[in-house]
Structure 1
Amino acid sequence: MTTIPFIIQAGMSTEDYQQKNSHYVKKRIDKQPAGLNFYEYRWPVKENGQVRVDAGSASFLIPNVLSIVGTEDTEALSRGIYDFSINSGLTPDEFIEHDQARILLMSHLQSLLTLGWKPYLEFHIYPRLSGKQSFQFAIEDGFYTPDPTYTPDLDEWMKLKYGGTWTFFNEKVFLEVRLRRESQFIDVNRPGVYLLTHTVLTNEAKAQSYFKGEERYKWQSLWADEIKKDKRKRYEKEVELIQQGYRINTRYVDPIIHPDDPIEPEDVEELLAIIEQHAIE
């Protein structure tokens, strides 16, 4: 059993990937006709793998790893392995008390903030909420990224029916932390089963995810129009939520992905005025 961490970095070259992980001799590459190569490693049953996410001063270690998959596009090899997904447990054991899962996950998320990772809200309609209200909205929405600085109580935690997703960015890297609770183990009085997935991807891969088909390769020329449309939806949603008693975190700052960022839509002054009147102080 090896205790040397598997090392990944969003955008790393295949040569770097192979060299840094040369001690993992059973790595495999799944080459698909669609033009994608998948770099895979699966840890043996009952062996607790470790993965180090290399991100400079924001690097961190993921324990209890089950498997890892990295994606490479043969049409854009210069991008390197631009997307990694790491599946793990919260503990070495399959079953865990729900309250322990809550504490461990929130502690992990808040440690990422300490390292310099910043919370990210998708441009696609996601309103700028924080604290308890962000968690309340996540319970209602099902896909929303709640504020990682807010620790829910056990009742709130269990209301995230199947788990939750928290997204972060750091310089030119995005990180999605996705927790899934097995649906047959949702009794708060009995242990549950959780799967944790960290997805680490480059700025460009994140930007391309907003587009489909061949548009993905033209994202830079399409970016401004897409973001204007989506931010308008965000502001409209925020005004709608204000009417329900929500307050808006106008201090939230979107990451710089495109050279033209920050991009704002036209003719939203009236919406922004309403939002500013109901901003968090």
Structure 2
Amino acid sequence: MTKTTKIILALLVAFATVIAIAFNTSNKSQESPKKMTPSYPSNIELAMYQHGDDWQKKYPTVVAAETQNFGLNFYKAMNFDPNALPSVTINAGETKTVIPKVLSISATEEKNRSPEIISIFITARVKNGGAMSHDEARLYILDLIEKFTAAGWKIAFSFNKPRLSGIHALNYYGADALDPNYKLSLAEWMQLDGSLNWKLYLNHTYMRVTVDRDQDHLDPNKPGAYIISLTIEPHEEVQRMYVDQKERDHWRQLWIPIARKLRSERNIKEATLKAQGIPIVSDYKDPELPPAPPGQQNPVIPKDLQ
């Protein structure tokens, strides 16, 4: 199963309709037992490579499992009280990252490998949800991004993309790869097309923060509607996707020529930008390869790729 298929399946699970739990209060009698409101935690913790069944056992009133799928196990949590949405704490290495006002959580395991969570997808409200001014949404989201960077998350560039920051990244990438350290003005915010994206990295973990807004309500003088989604994956899983599926268990043996090809593409793009007077973030280094599993070892990185 391809990564694209996995993502589509996860999105279908995660974007299921979020509804409040309904209670039937009619036809009550003294003989009828009272229906108890499920107990939902105010915070839910989840870690990469955690076993999905352990997560379900920790939050039995929240987490539901779908384990009859071919090749994948899905775990999902949603249908929270809309007036008391929980926060989610993601454990990335030794760093804990908090996402407030979460609407849904989904986690994915691969059955044919060690049954551990290798992908997390979260949707969350912007402030209290509903209609709000675009500037209100902008300030809330930029503050959340700032909290992530304060926790240690840093910008991550694709291996073949030029290393740009600030206004130069905005001009080159548009909304596809925003600099988390650049404070978009309201005018810049409103000029961006489509979803807004920040790609971050910390402790061998990647996190993509995506902000979607109602495309029919983009008048800067009228309220808009926003939602945040976060896709979190370990570095190991991201690296595996650079090779064909049948070769993914030994991708490390194939990495050096792949890295050279990607770096060459980046170098060409950066040389063109330098010739135009655009500065390159030359002190940015691609993340080190993730630790190798037992029985394997990382390749020695040659100087031209360091």
TM category, shorter: 0.7 to 0.9
* Aligned residue type for 1:4: S
Q: Does 1:176 align with 2:241?
A: no
Q: TM-score, normalised by structure 1?
A: 0.84
CA distance in 1 between partners of 2:280 and 2:111 (Å): 43
Deviations 1:19-58 (A, max 9, x none): 4324xx1422223543011111112462423211123553
Identity across matched positions, percent: 27
Ranges in structure 2 where 5+ consecutive residues have no aligned partner: 1-38, 291-297
**Alignment map for 1:168-247 (pairs within 5 Å):** 168-247=200-279
What letter corresponds to residue 39 of structure 1 in structure 2? Y
Contact kept? 2:48, 2:118, Cα under 8 Å: yes
Note the alpha carbon deviations across 1:194-228, whole angstroms, 9 max, x for none: 22111122121121233443233332222222211
TM alignment of 1:1-281, pairs within 5 A: 2-22=40-60, 25-31=61-67, 33-44=69-80, 46-47=82-83, 48-55=85-92, 58-78=95-115, 80-123=116-159, 125-139=160-174, 142-143=175-176, 145-258=177-290, 259-260=298-299, 262=301
Q: Distance in 1 between matches of 2:265 and 2:303?
A: 12
Q: Deviations over 1:249-275 (max 9, x none)?
A: 101121112533755658xxxxxxxxx
Q: Secondary structure at the match of 2:147?
A: helix
**C-alpha displacement at 1:63, in angstroms?**
1.4
Look up the equivalent residue of 1:61 and give its one-letter code: V
8 Å contact 1:174–1:202 — kept in the other structure? Answer: yes
Q: Distance in 2 between matches of 1:164 and 1:226?
A: 29
Alignment partner, residue 274 of structure 1: none
The 8 Å contact of residues 89 and 196 in structure 1, kept in 2 or not, is answered as yes
C-alpha distance in 1 between matches for 2:274 and 2:127: 40
Mark the CA change 1:93 to 1:67 in structure 2 (over 3 Å): closer, same or farther: same
Q: CA separation of 1:218/1:53 partners in 2, compared to 1, >3 Å: closer, same or farther?
A: same
Letter of the 1:131 partner, please give it: G
Three-state SS of the structure 2 residue aligned to 1:136 is helix
Q: Distance in 1 between matches of 2:65 and 2:180?
A: 35
- Which deviations, in whole Å up to 9, do the C-alpha atoms of 1:65-99 show, x marking residues without a partner? 11111010001125x10110001111122222111
Deviation at 1:8, TM superposition (A): 0.9
**Which sections of structure 1, spanning at least 5 residues, go unmatched?**
267-281
Q: Distance in 2 between matches of 1:26 and 1:128?
A: 41
Runs of 4+ in structure 1 displaced over 4 angstroms?
A: 261-266
Distance 1:209 1:101 in 2: 34
Q: Distance in 2 between matches of 1:194 and 1:216?
A: 37
TM-score, normalised relative to structure 2: 0.77
Residue 77 of structure 1 aligns to which amino acid in structure 2? S
CA distance in 2, matches of 1:30, 1:55: 24
SS at match of 1:54: strand
